Amino acid sequence: MCGIVGYIGGQQAYPILIDGLKKLEYRGYDSAGVALLDNGELHMVKSVGRLCELEDKIGIGCPYGMVGIGHTRWATHGRPSDTNAHPHSDCTNHFVVIHNGIIENYQALREWLTSLGHSFRSETDTEVLAHLVEHYYRGDLKSAIRQVMEQVHGSYALVVMSRHEADRLVCARKDSPLVIGLGEGENFIASDIPALLKYTRQTYILDDGELAEVTKNDVKIENGNGASVEKPIFNVEWDAVSAEKDGFDHFMLKEIHEQPKAIRDTLRSRLNDTGVVLDEIKLTHDQVKSLRKVVMVACGTAYHAGLVGKYVFEKMLRLPVEVDVASEFRYRDPLLGEDTLVVVISQSGETADTLAALRLAKEKGSPVVAVTNVVGSSVSREADQIIYTWAGPEIAVASTKAYTTQLVVLYLLALHLGNLTGVVSLSEAASLVEELKLLPSHVESILKKEHELLEFARFISRWEDTFFIGRGLDYAVALEGSLKLKEISYIHAEAYAAGELKHGTLALITDNIPVLALATQPALHEKMWSNIKEVKARDAYVMGIAMAGDKGTHKEVDAIFEIPATIPLLAPILTVIPLQLIAYHASVLRGCDVDKPRNLAKSVTVE
Ligand code: AGP
């Protein structure tokens, strides 16, 4: 996610751009830049770091101009740097672009444009857009951009400004949000409403494929076929704070609901008809063949993702997998070496123990793959190879979209390694890929049933203790569900391997105590149902999570929530969604600070 702003009107643009970018910093904050046109002259300033560093760089002599664009970045392609910051311009500096999204075919476009003589300055996917506009421009900016839209694959919300046509901005969107704010003798463009509220509440919300030509007195919108569109004005009722959360009450709920897009973005350009495309992984066939073990190291939710990864890797690659919390791994003198692949997982890429584990693994000669959500983070800079989750900034302390996209990356990595060594057949890979592609819509259908979980949350919120039980992959997800509940509702939640209950914990099962039973694994259903009977016999109140079509679980539990049917191996990505929602609503019901729970920080950068 990135923050985009544009202005055209009778005021100096710079203060409006900076103010808008400040309202959008939650969408990305690793670098920023502005570009303005003043009497045909282009003024562009970009800086790595937070917006304040851009302001410091600009100093008191702010650039003049009554038309301008600005961008605050969340890097996906190209580490955070002055050069990679947006805006990006073409060879002639006549076209300037800002962009939010992922241009999937940017490499091919970059090669083609280079062969035509274009010279690139940055490592970003976005810069190809500026050179494409230059290539297609024949005196009409809008039609040049229309041709660009036909060439690029992927997602974009883009704004283009040109010295040739300084009286307009042209913007377009596909799969990334873009809104136009309507003023008197001035108009605004932004990726999100918060950037506009200080100036206007009258907006056009662009739809996919639409392109808009914005002057200070007019907004012309066209659809994907070039036909003009009369859009209704959307009057924004939200206040500034709720607008940052897209109308959701908390960032956590917003981020739970962003998971379909986060999963789609993380899968984007990494799947083709035959399997997985993971160019980030440089491990050779022989290196993978020589592996004797995989170790996954992380903390908290990322550790729970590693537990799912263990099942997936061992099932698909038939390789032993150890999973360690980083704070233990780094002090147990682990057996490592070039035959042990170490997979380090960290949303922030700054967790001290996880970073230390990465360094230890490298010191001991193990190949290291990092899975992280932050481009340019310490983990991403020190790992041999990196696979990014493209979840966008995760603001809430409780990790949600990072977890599900970490799982997606682990499935992709297992498939990639399996394809490399042949242990995963093309037909197995193809069927798994087909199911992976369905995950975003499966998550969407779960989110549409959020109301069914309110009763679960209400029941649980009245207790100080709750148990999560499951077997196999469901046990790994039960651990994540219990962490979600305890860290934001302060209920003592404990996850247990269902088969282990009778070895002690059953003593804690008393009258009506809430038990969440995860039963998504058909091969373990009989065993799981008998474990549910065990706790029912002690008068627990059991809420079940099962797959649609499951004919048995609903008979064993007091209440049930069904997730869409999928390959059992992929179930964790779906099973966790109701658990996230239950934790969220229980926390709200208990009046807790959902986004900033007591005693916790978003990134634990100390031991
Ligand atoms: C998850 O909800 C917690 N906020 C916490 O456990 C977190 O997952 C852990 O601190 C690891 O963070 P990282 O992924 O940024 O390394």
Q: CATH no. for residue 321?
A: 3.40.50.10490
* End-to-end C-alpha distance for the chain, whole angstroms: 30
Residue 167 lies in a domain: yes
Give the span between the Cα atoms of 531 and 567, in whole angstroms.
23
Residue 181 and residue 169 in contact, taking contact as beta carbons nearer than 8 Å: no
Pair 354, 459 in one domain:
no
Residue 253 lies in a domain: no
The reported pLDDT for the residue numbered 402 is 98
Of all protein residues, the one whose alpha carbon is nearest to atom 5 of ligand 1 is 300
Give the span between the Cα atoms of 583 and 581, in whole angstroms.
5
Pair 193, 330 in one domain:
no
Pair 232, 305 in one domain:
no
Pair 304, 230 in one domain:
no
Cα(399) to ligand 1 centroid in Å equals 6
Pair 20, 165 in one domain:
yes
191 lines ligand 1 (CB under 6 A): no
Last residue of a domain, one of 244, 274, 299: 244
The reported pLDDT for the residue numbered 169 is 98
State which of 325, 399, 593, 595 you would mutate to test the pocket of ligand 1, scoring each by most atoms of that ligand within 8 A of its C-beta.
399
Token pair for 184: 């008197």
Atom of ligand 1 at shortest range from CA of 602: 4
The reported pLDDT for the residue numbered 175 is 86
Please state, in angstroms and as integers, the Cα–Cα distance from residue 572 to each residue in 296, 400, 401, 528, 559, following that order. Answer: 17, 13, 13, 16, 20
Pair 454, 429 in one domain:
no
Cα(400) to ligand 1 centroid in Å equals 10
Pair 495, 555 in one domain:
yes
355 lines ligand 1 (CB under 6 A): no
Give mean pLDDT in consecutive 10-residue pieces for the chain, a chain of 607 residues. Answer: 94 96 87 96 95 91 94 89 96 97 94 98 96 98 96 95 97 93 97 92 94 98 93 86 84 97 93 84 94 97 98 96 97 96 96 95 97 90 93 93 98 95 88 95 98 98 98 98 98 97 94 97 97 96 97 96 97 98 98 90 78
Please state, in angstroms and as integers, the Cα–Cα distance from residue 500 to each residue in 198, 242, 504, following that order. Answer: 57, 44, 8
Of all protein residues, the one whose alpha carbon is nearest to atom 3 of ligand 1 is 398
Residue 254 lies in a domain: no
354 lines ligand 1 (CB under 6 A): yes
Pair 235, 272 in one domain:
no
Name which of 92, 359, 99, 14 is nearest 342 in CA terms. Answer: 359
Give the span between the Cα atoms of 529 and 545, in whole angstroms.
12
State which of 303, 489, 603, 606 you would mutate to test the pocket of ligand 1, scoring each by most atoms of that ligand within 8 A of its C-beta.
603
- For the beta sheet containing 219-222, the strands, ordered from the edge strand earlier in sequence to the opposite edge, are 88-89, 95-100, 156-162, 169-174, 211-214, 219-222
Cα 385 to chain centroid distance, Å, stands at: 19
Atom of ligand 1 at shortest range from CA of 604: 10
Token pair for 539: 């008068």
Residue 550 and residue 535 in contact, taking contact as beta carbons nearer than 8 Å: no
Last residue of a domain, one of 402, 435, 468: 435
Residue 68 lies in a domain: yes
Pair 175, 313 in one domain:
no
397 lines ligand 1 (CB under 6 A): yes
Beta bridge partners of 171: 159, 212
380 lines ligand 1 (CB under 6 A): no
Pair 496, 395 in one domain:
no
Atom of ligand 1 at shortest range from CA of 398: 2
Of all protein residues, the one whose alpha carbon is nearest to atom 10 of ligand 1 is 300
What is the domain extent for residue 186? 3-244
The reported pLDDT for the residue numbered 212 is 98
Pair 335, 388 in one domain:
yes
Number of domains in the chain: 3
Residue 196 lies in a domain: yes
Pair 474, 421 in one domain:
no
Residue 441 lies in a domain: no
Cα(451) to ligand 1 centroid in Å equals 27
Residues labelled catalytic: 2, 602
CATH (domain of 185)? 3.60.20.10
The reported pLDDT for the residue numbered 600 is 82
327 lines ligand 1 (CB under 6 A): no
Angle at 289 between CA 284 and CA 294, to 5 degrees: 95
State which of 251, 296, 301 you would mutate to test the pocket of ligand 1, scoring each by most atoms of that ligand within 8 A of its C-beta.
301
Residue 249 lies in a domain: no
Cα(403) to ligand 1 centroid in Å equals 9
Residue 332 lies in a domain: yes
Of all protein residues, the one whose alpha carbon is nearest to atom 7 of ligand 1 is 300
Cα(603) to ligand 1 centroid in Å equals 7
Last residue of a domain, one of 435, 464, 493: 435
How many other C-beta atoms are found inside a 10 Å radius of the C-beta of residue 447?
Answer: 15
